[in-house]
Chain A
């Protein structure tokens, strides 16, 4: 299956997902081009997190198609490990490995999964820790770091796999207000470097600033989408308007 950079890097078509009787996604379609930063916003329980978790096959889907660089994710024969080398993910609760230091957290996957040489992996891990502005914290365990610091280690850990696209699942939702900024700055740096990012977020000001495209989801469908300027100024759908009036 060939894929070239003018095709969408991630392409969802009519994706349906339910947990038992609960329908979570009801026919979602969206395209993400290489280098795009897209933000998915919407009320709690609207299926935002489920949506991005389907992209790296942490959740399977019942119907529809998800293409990542031309590779079908909704395929029982999918090589999940290959997919996950291309798609990084950062979680709301950081999910660092608590028994490993910051440095070990970052270099573990490259050594284990990509079979990188240990010294080379350590060198790039140190560079990534510097990139997320955590120099001097290499040997700290996650339990010794603040939430914002842990989340930046998690971002470095994801970057260490050199993914083509990173999924951010409400990565600032568990943070203290004063540490939200440092994490958002890190993501902004990434976006400016040209990393393809798919974010689920409640940070509207941030979404407006960094996103190329905003998607608003409610009850398992994409209600409305558009570039941030149009989206925030000229929302058409009453549900979008109501949501925006509550949070802006």
Chain B
């Protein structure tokens, strides 16, 4: 490793191409932390946005008018407003309304930190799209298949869990892929409320080293690889879920 560090230090000295996170331990730790925060924020949001999508699509099929209206209202609100505005709304509007707790230094801290607010906000944002995506999948499941399950005595919940959802999932995977890719990219917005994710840490590094060009190129490639890994995993999953002789 030391050889590599030395090589990048030399690269900087000889050419002026400055990638400090590859030879400086302090900057390296910042970059690794930022990367891990981005990955963790992405995973949390992926998980909760899919859960919101699954539950929301189920509630949309409810026989209670107000339940359906509530879900539709949620979708309209989160789909028709910018995610950055939502993030600010959660962090600055809701966040300041909540009670404060005493922190370790005897001061007052908000009950939820910026990471938690970013996770909540982005999950709701992507979840709104996921509800619509799952709904389209549910509508693609033939009514006759559902009827067969009804005739066998399955309950509504059992039909949703065992029949509709597994079939709908296969239909919506390409659309879900798109939305989840967008979600991972949207985690960069958390920068705005000082979540120490990859963009934020890169900004710290370029402020200290005045190497904006290098950091921008690096960031672009880092996200390209990160999203590429997600897409690869989703494509593998899509193939694994394929049913012989179907679709």
Contacts and interface: CB of A to CB of B under 8 A. Distances in A.
A89 B246 contact: no
Given A95-B144, A95-B148, A97-B163, A141 B245 contact: yes
B151 A56 contact: yes
A232 interface: no
A24 interface: no
A91 B152 contact: no
Given A98-B243, A99-B167, A142-B246, A81 B153 contact: yes
Interface in B161-175: 162-163, 166-167, 170
**Main SS class of interface, A:** mixed
B213 interface: no
A136 to B, nearest CB: 16
Contact of B151 (A58, A143, A145): A58
A176 to B, nearest CB: 17
Given A91-B144, A98-B145, A112-B158, A143 B245 contact: yes
A95 B159 CA distance: 14
Contacts of B167: 98-99
Contacts of B162: 108, 112
B150 A84 contact: yes
Contact of A93 (B144, B150, B166): B144
Nearest to B158: A112
Interface residues of A, number: 29
Contact of B152 (A141, A144, A157): A157
Contact of B153 (A58, A93, A109, A145): A109
Contact of A97 (B149, B155, B170): B149
A239 B15 CA distance: 97
Contacts of A112: 154, 158, 162
Contacts of A25: none
Contacts of A56: 151
A97 B165 CA distance: 12
Interface residues of B, number: 22
Contact of A95 (B147, B158, B246): B147
Contacts, number: 73
B244 interface: yes
B145 A141 contact: no
Contacts of A95: 142, 144-145, 147-148
A148 interface: no
Interface in A129-188: 141-145, 154, 157-158, 161
A228 interface: no
B144 A141 contact: no
Given A99-B170, A108-B162, A112-B162, A85 B153 contact: yes
Interface in B112-171: 142, 144-145, 147-155, 158, 162-163, 166-167, 170
B155 A141 contact: no
Interface in A200-246: none
Contacts of B245: 141-145
A88 interface: yes
A113 interface: yes
Q: Which of B144, B149, B153, B155 has the most CB of A within 10 A?
A: B153
Given A91-B148, A95-B145, A99-B166, 17 more contacts: A81-B155, A84-B151, A84-B152, A87-B151, A97-B149, A98-B145, A98-B167, A99-B170, A113-B153, A141-B246, A143-B243, A143-B244, A143-B245, A144-B244, A144-B245, A158-B152, A161-B153
27 contacts: A58-B147, A58-B151, A81-B155, A84-B150, A84-B152, A84-B153, A85-B153, A88-B151, A93-B144, A95-B145, A95-B148, A96-B148, A97-B149, A99-B167, A99-B170, A99-B243, A99-B246, A109-B153, A109-B154, A112-B162, A113-B153, A141-B245, A142-B245, A143-B245, A145-B245, A158-B152, A161-B153
Interface of B: 142, 144-145, 147-155, 158, 162-163, 166-167, 170, 243-246
Interface of A: 56, 58, 80-81, 84-85, 87-89, 91, 93, 95-99, 108-109, 112-113, 141-145, 154, 157-158, 161
